Structure 1
Amino acid sequence: MWLVLCDPEDQAARWVGTGLRECGLNPVELVDSEMLTHSVRSAHRIEGDRASFETTLSDGRTLASDDVDGVLNRLTHAPVGHLLFASAVDTCYAMTEMSALVLSWVQCLAPVMVNPPSPRGLSGASRSPAEWSVLAARAGLPVAPLRLSGESPAAARGAVRTVVVLGEHVFGGEAVGDLAPACRRLARSAGADLLGVELEPDDRHGARFAGATLLPDLRIAGPALVACLSAYLTLLPARPW
């Protein structure tokens, strides 16, 4: 089984899921975060250094970690708004426990996952613009001035272009020429298999770093990315159990 994990409104994930099926991966199951937190039955087992889960979704599908061959992970959060109790303390406790449970579920799949979870985010470490700028500069990208107050950065920018990095491939990289290797280095330093790198025009370098996202709109890279992602998923190493 191949999984696409995403938020309910993530249309790019649905597009990718369809494309992966057309590339021959079967079955491809799309599961959104609300399905996970509204499951009707769940079992989560931790035995020594091995963890697994099995959950029955509200639509009747059964999702078992041992049946998963590869995952594209685009989750941002675990929806917990339905967990309302008489006591605010009980509600807060239930929400915290559900979020931790979803993180643990996703971590079970990390060895066969594109963009595994982190303590700072379900699909990788969430970073501030300043943190991304530091990583980008270290990777060798020219970096746009970062405004922490005053004029909105969007108002000062030119046209921003997003290139998508998947492993050693850079989609849209032909437009940024010599910066493609630096985009790959940025993704590696961020621990991201898949990363969107935002670049804006620059008179000196042609383009410079303006931002990064773990959730790029994959549709901008077209069918070539889907074919590459299909191959990437099938080459992920098997889990150690």
Structure 2
Amino acid sequence: MAALLLRRLAGTHRGRVPLGAAAAAACGGATLFYASSSPTVAHLEETGKAAEQVALNPDKWLEFKLQEKATVSHNSQLFRFSFDPSTKLGLDVASCLITRAPIGEEAEGRRKYVIRPYTPISDPDSKGYFDLLIKVYPDGKMSQYFASLKPGDVVEVKGPIEKLRYNPNMKKQIGMIAGGSGITPMLQVVRAILKNPNDNTQMIYCSKENWIDLPVAILTSRYFIQLINRQLTGGVVLVLYQRTWF
């Protein structure tokens, strides 16, 4: 099923695209949450900008319904959550959101929660949905909770947490090193660069594992073809796609 969903992703990046491939990872700490959140409706109104309705709320836990999920590997699952199709999530590139799930009760009878931050892998400009891919650990309280979800179930979410505010051409070169699912915030930056024809940031992309198929699937066909064309026409983007690079 995951392979089919990955193939379906190779279309346009606009609108409601099919559930895609990527990875989810924790990004920053909760202490950054109130100090550096993305512009909310209130923030935009204060700065005189046109208010844009977003799904996230930095001060309130909101429920998001699971639309569909797929198994990507023996220990990773991909989740798509839906919301009002006329609104964006309200997340900047490489930013995170916080999720929480009930795991029992405290001694006083109050509900007990586990809380984890994740980086959505869907395009921040997408409307009506966001995607997470989560590595499921045998003893992971939150990841096991996600694994138990069925379409129609809900997860409580708050955010955003801004970890890196990326601006086009902010740096001539960007070096990003990640292990496993930690590549997720990097993929957000890569996607933002490739979407902008005026962004001349230089990138070198390589991996020693077959897992490279996963991020490459995000770039196909529109992104990967665009990237190749930019290189062949004198652009500055270079992708090294070799299974045995190291």
| More relative contact order, 1 or 2 (CA 8 Å, 6+ apart) | 2
Task: State the TM-score, normalized to the length of structure 1.
Answer: 0.29
Quick check: which has more Rg, 1 or 2?
Answer: 1
Q: By percentage of residues, which structure has more helix?
A: 1
